Amino acid sequence: MLILLTVAAFLILFGLASLLAAFSYGLFAAHAKGEPSNALPPAEATEIGRAAMRLSEGRKGRTGMAMLSENLDAFTARVLTARHAGQSLDLMYYIWHSDLTGRLLVNEVIKAADRGVRVRLLLDDINSRGSDTAYLSLDSHPNIAVRLFNPSRATSGTLRRGLEMTLRAFSATRRMHNKAWIADGTVAIVGGRNIGDEYFDAAETNFQDLDLALLGPAVQETEAVFDAFWNSDAAIPIRALARLRKHRLRRLRKSLARLSAGDRVAPYAARVHKRASLNDMFDGPDVIQWTQAVEVVSDPPEKAAGAKRENWLLSQLMPAITSAEHRVEVVSPISSREMKEPNNCSA
């Protein structure tokens, strides 16, 4: 009986502590929330905008899709769109590693911001621990804003962070897995790749993943998803979570300059250089497939608070799946052996 009473008392105290932690976090998030901002109109005067207009000519209302199945092509597409962007970069990722390719892409983002490009970078907090210095450095740039999705208030200290994650277990486990790279509101790269060496053939063991480069109306749908997450209560500006020290951006620039000039980059850069042409990115009559039957879907940012359950991703996908007459193809990290009913599905 004593054991049962002890357990019951512990559960009651833990429940009260969890409620207090959730209430306290809600007050913090409401106070720390950044100013709302929205995607800029699709640019027509930039290099990317002109290329998109040329490719979309005579295809009003249709979305163009180019598959990026090769890891090097996926990296190069991100480099090219960053280099040729003239207005905006909206980037959202579950993981952005501070490795070779991650830092090379950070370098491209900074160069774009130096040209006057507005950069919004939204990252999931669960994998950001240890990278606060780099994120704060980026955020200190006048043209770059960094927000973290559903972040822990404890940016340092394993014990404090672990305690908060435990007390907020219901909401802290609801992560943002979205991956989107949107340039000038005219080209969007979406799919399964995070930012890191293993996604771009720069690691000893690499993933085989898939992205789509989008042109046309689906880009605005992707921007709408980005804006919904960016302006949500769960997206907190990095500067509200950690202190900003002077000269961090200068130090980051020096570090990236040393990396770019180092011997480690040369072999990888040589492989990428062969694909480094904005025109070649969509070259060939069969590279881009045009169709009106495209919809970009995402689970809602309110999932961090457990809201809008009826509108989560499965309910958006099921109508398309159940209406299929011949075949449904799914790309997923889950193997076909783990799927319950794989008879009409290839993975």
Share the mean pLDDT of the chain.
81
C-alpha torsion sign, points 278, 86, 37, 127: positive
Question: E strands within the chain?
Answer: 63-68, 88-93, 118-124, 144-149, 180-183, 187-191, 211-215, 235-237, 288-291, 328-329, 345-346
Six-digit token string for 260: 């770019």
How many CB atoms sit inside 10 A of residue 49's CB? 21
- 237-267 pLDDT, tens digit each: 988 877 666 668 889 999 999 998 888 888 8
Separation CA 35–CA 54 (nearest Å)? 35
Rounded alpha-carbon distances, angstroms, from residue 123 to 32, 49, 232, 237: 16, 26, 13, 10
Residue type, 304: A
Q: What CATH code would you report for 33-291?
A: 3.30.870.10
How many residues can be counted in the chain?
347
Task: Give the model confidence (pLDDT) of 84-106 as tens digits.
Answer: 999 999 999 999 999 999 999 99
Question: Is residue 63 predicted with pLDDT exceeding 70?
Answer: yes
pLDDT of residue 264: 81
Q: What is the dihedral of CA 48, 54, 60, 62, to 10 degrees?
A: -70
Average pLDDT over residues 286-295: 87
Distance between CA atoms of 308 and 138, rounded to whole angstroms? 33
- The angle formed by the CA atoms of residues 84, 140 and 298, to the nearest 5 degrees, is 60
State the Cα angle at 195 between 151 and 145, rounded to 5°.
50
Amino acid at 202: A
CATH 3.30.870.10 segments of the chain: 33-291
Q: What contacts 13, CB < 8 A, 6 or more positions away?
A: none
Residue 129, pLDDT above cutoff 90: no
Decide: 67 and 210 in contact? Cβ < 8 Å: yes
pLDDT of residue 122: 96
pLDDT at 277: 61
Please tell me which of 118-122, 306-310, 323-327, 330-334 the model is most confident about, judged by mean pLDDT: 118-122
pLDDT digits (tens, 9 = 90+) for 171-187: 556 788 899 999 999 99
Does an H or E element contain 167, and which? helix 158-167
d(C-alpha 135, C-alpha 97), whole Å: 12
| Average pLDDT for 63-86 | 92
What is the reported pLDDT for 219?
A: 96
pLDDT digits (tens, 9 = 90+) for 19-29: 555 555 556 66
Residue 309 banded pLDDT, cuts 50, 70, 90: low
Which sign, positive or negative, has the C-alpha torsion 220, 225, 227, 228? Answer: positive
Q: What is the DSSP letter of 46?
A: S
